[in-house]
Amino acid sequence: MVIIDYQLSQAEILRSLLDKADVQGYLTAEDIIDATPQGDSMRNQHAKLLNQLHRMGIDILEPEEPGDYPDTGIDHVISEIDLPVGLEQIPIEDTVEIYLKEMSRVPLLTSEEEVSIAQRIQKGREAHLELVASPTRDNSEKYHMLEEIIEDGRLAREHIIKANTRLVVSIAKRYIGHGVPFLDLIQEGNLGLMKAVEKYDVQRGFRFSTYATWWIRQTITRSIADQGRTIRLPVHMTDRIRILKRTSHQMEQSLGRPPTIPELAQQLELLPEKVQWMLQVSLIPISLETPVGDEDDSELGMFVEDEISPSPTQTVYQNMLKERVEEVLATLSPREARILRLRFGLDDNRPYTLEEVGAKFGLTRERIRQIEGKALRRLRHPYRARQLREYL
């Protein structure tokens, strides 16, 4: 898998997709989404790509992962998203469970039903525009007819949204563990689904579920980029990291071991330094106050080693050394002891220069140097040196 350069033109992206279709014999929604840069400005490009591929007769399938369902389309995937199948391991509240049960009652739409519903929605929009343009009720029969068409369009819109909510769950499941609760992922995906309904053009020929997949994933990934991390990443980088992790997982399955950074870089056609950087920024910080244990009576910070603060043994050692230094300095004259304290920063951990010490005592720097030298020679006396030698 190759992470597509975000500066590629549409022609270059189309060429890369056609090359992949020649190898696989088909394309998946994931192939098209991965090839299309994420962002508001790329929505039209995504639709144009779908339209061009459809006109060229390229089969577009929508498995959860490339190659999982080579002989079936999106309906096969969605049909498996039915409570409780596939969702037993997802910790959800009762309200979410009720929602999923209600969602599973709406049957999936066939291609013909999608076209029919999309046409009803379009007629409803046109009737609304006509009604707004001529708000008078001079022709009550036409007015009521337009209202009926608008209502039918509203019902059709509601129907296609409910029929594709399992598609939202199918996509949202892939993003569990990215820092956004599962219910919020579904909510964001539903917003993307509603946008897809508004933007879908049945005349372009591709299925609604193919078009909606991009919108759903767009809103979910944007939500994760905005809410899922303490340190926000751009949407396009979030998408690149997702591709990196998926590629790493696929390579681990085939190699039987985690891939190395050079192997990942070769597979993704990136520099190893770039892959290393992406792996680093993909790490999600964890609060030291995170509860741990069955009873949540401990915090993570209690089990993390403090590599900066000294250990209890080091603290005792430093205190004993400080006491012994004080004893040795007490054998010097007060002025000599004071000068050594200032020169070596024994009181405030800030060593003073000869000029600074001289200013405090009203002496020249040369005189301070002489007094310091004399005091150090006295400390080197065998009697005094013996008291400090054991700490060296």
CATH number, domain at 383? 1.10.10.10
Per the structure, the complete domain to which residue 280 belongs is given by 230-284
In a domain, 304, yes or no: no
pLDDT of residue 366: 93
* Domain co-membership, 251 together with 198: no
Local confidence pLDDT in tens for the 392 residues of the chain: 444 444 456 677 777 777 777 766 667 766 776 666 555 555 556 667 766 776 676 666 654 433 333 333 444 444 444 444 444 444 445 566 677 777 777 888 888 888 899 999 999 988 888 888 776 666 678 888 888 999 999 999 999 998 898 889 888 888 887 778 888 899 999 999 999 998 888 887 778 888 888 889 888 888 887 776 666 777 677 778 878 888 888 899 888 999 999 999 998 888 999 999 988 888 777 777 778 777 667 887 777 777 777 778 888 888 888 888 888 888 889 999 999 999 998 888 889 999 999 999 999 999 999 999 999 898 888 877 777 777 76
In a domain, 265, yes or no: yes
Give just the sign of the alpha carbon dihedral 138, 140, 141, 147: positive
* Domain co-membership, 93 together with 83: yes
Decide which of 228, 256, 276 is a domain's last residue: 228
What's the DSSP call for residue 127? H
Q: How far is CA 353 from CA 219, 325, 336, in A?
A: 62, 21, 15
* Domain co-membership, 40 together with 173: yes
Distance CA 180, CA 151 (A): 36
CATH of the domain at 254: 1.10.10
pLDDT of residue 94: 58
In a domain, 279, yes or no: yes
* Domain co-membership, 319 together with 205: no
CB-based contact 86:100 (threshold 8 Å): no
Q: State how far Cα 238 lies from the chain centre.
A: 5
Cis peptide before 351 (omega within 30 of 0): no
* Domain co-membership, 169 together with 248: no
* Domain co-membership, 179 together with 93: yes
* Domain co-membership, 272 together with 380: no
In a domain, 135, yes or no: no
| 57 φ, ψ (degrees, to nearest 5) | 80, 20
Domain count across the chain: 3
In a domain, 127, yes or no: no
Distance CA 336, CA 309 (A): 32
Distance CA 279, CA 335 (A): 58
Please state, as a whole number, how many other Cβ atoms lie within 10 Å of the Cβ of residue 171: 26
- In this prediction the pTM is 0.51
Distance CA 179, CA 246 (A): 17
CA-based nearest residue to 156, from 188, 177, 125, 182: 125
| Tokens standing for residue 350 | 């800030």
In a domain, 223, yes or no: yes
| Tokens standing for residue 376 | 């150090």
* Domain co-membership, 222 together with 276: no
* Domain co-membership, 103 together with 211: yes
In a domain, 130, yes or no: no
Distance CA 270, CA 133 (A): 55
What's the DSSP call for residue 201? -
In a domain, 298, yes or no: no
* Domain co-membership, 211 together with 272: no
- Residues forming beta bridges with residue 299, ordered by sequence position: 291
* Domain co-membership, 180 together with 195: yes
* Domain co-membership, 274 together with 191: no
